[in-house]
Amino acid sequence: MDARPAAGYTTLSYVWGERRYHPRKIILNGHPFPVLESLYPALEAICDNPELAIKNRRWWIDSICINQRNDREAMSERSSQVSLMGRIYSQSERAVVWLGEGMKDNENAMEFLNTLARSRNKPKRKFKVPELQEPAKWKLLETLLLRPWRTRVWTLQEFVVAPKLTFYCGSKSIERNRFRAAMHSLWYCRETGNPQIKEDAFHPAWNRRRLIQWYESGKGSSN
């Protein structure tokens, strides 16, 4: 990849998990191609989602675009690609974060995140409304925020440098700027004694909000 921005493409940010391959293969350049078990559901979701429309977009997905063989040539390629990761994500049109398949509880948690985002600029008294007082919703959100993506160090760069970024869990989504607003509301709810989530669920997400603020301080706005 050279220093010039490539033609528009989307990057995918996800967690590999154990390096196991899905029993079904995709067709890549006319040939069967194995993909990780953790990646296959994301590819299915991309194909099924009109907003993402995989056939109309160029995608950069690390485990597909970087040679994963164990020979010397492949290892050299992986080493060189790692040094380019920041550029790959920063020169993309957008990044899509895949948090996993959208079971009902997960999608309800994503909807609650959007509720928190809408509450960002409400007067303090509005944080006492019933929709923010239901312990079950906070528990679902806690489970979502404990997903592995939010605690992986290498996803920090992906989260920060992409020009635009959207989280997906199944069919539900939230833009990065709305996620940041939700984290501010979550912080305020904790300060005012609303139902709270565990520290290890709150702090990784809150710290990412702080990190993107720091990064953007000299670069202008982002989504």
pLDDT of 5-17, one tens digit each? 456 899 999 998 7
What does the pLDDT read at residue 131?
Answer: 66
DSSP-based three-state secondary structure for 4: coil
pLDDT of 126-183, one tens digit each? 555 566 778 888 899 999 999 989 878 788 889 999 999 999 998 899 999 999 999 9
pTM: 0.85
Residues 13 and 30: their CA atoms lie apart, in Å, by: 25
* Average pLDDT, integer, range 181-209: 83
Which strand (E) or helix (H) includes residue 174?
strand 172-175
pLDDT of 82-134, one tens digit each? 677 888 899 999 999 999 887 888 889 999 999 889 887 665 555 555 667 78
Q: What's the chain's Rg over C-alpha atoms?
A: 19
How many Cβ atoms are within 10 Å of 216's Cβ, its own excluded? 12
Query: By C-alpha distance, which of 56, 33, 35 is closest to 46?
Result: 56
What burial class does residue 158 get, using C-beta atoms within 10 Å of its C-beta: 0-12 exposed, 13-18 middle, 19+ buried? buried
pLDDT of 15-28, one tens digit each? 987 778 898 999 88
